[in-house]
Amino acid sequence: MKHLIVAVTGVMLAAGPAWAQTSGPAGNAENGKKLYAQVGCYQCHGLAGQGARMTGPRVSRTEFPFDGFLYQLRHPANQMPPYEAAVVSDQEAADLYAYLRQMPAPRDPNGIPLLKTER
C-alpha cells in the first residue's frame, strides 16, 4: 500500500502542472453508484470504497482531482486493470468520480462498540 501511494505521488509530482485540478465533465452520482458495482470496483475497493491492504486503496471521498482520477483509471500504477474509454467512457468516469466524492466519511473505529477493547 505504501509503495502504491509513493508511486502515484511520484507520478503526480513528475507530471507537474499537468495535474492541475480541473472540474471535468459533470458527473451523475446515482449512475456512478450503479457503475461502481457493474464494472467491479467494489471487488477490490470494497462496497463502501474503504479499500484493503491486499486488494486496493481507499477510494471513497477521493482527493484526486478529476484528471488524476481519470489517469489512474486509464493507467493504473499496480495490479488494477486499465479501464480504457471503450470500457468506461469519460462521462462514466465522471459519474464514478461524483459517486466516490460524495460517499460518507468512514466511521471512527473508536465509536464502534465491537472494536473497543477493555483495558
Query: What is the grid cell recorded at 70?
Result: 481519470
Are the C-beta atoms of residues 74 and 22 closer than 8 Å to each other? no
Can you give the pLDDT at residue 87? 96
Is residue 24 within 8 A of residue 67, CB to CB? The reply is yes
Which residue blocks in 22-89 are alpha helix, DSSP H? 29-38, 41-45, 66-74
Model confidence, pTM: 0.72
- pLDDT tens digits, the chain, 119 residues: what are they? 445 444 444 444 444 444 444 567 899 999 999 999 999 999 999 999 999 989 999 999 999 999 999 999 999 988 899 999 999 999 999 999 999 999 987 778 788 888 877 65
Give me the CATH code for the 2-6+23-107 domain, please: 1.10.760.10
Please tell me whether residue 100 adopts helix, strand or coil conformation: helix
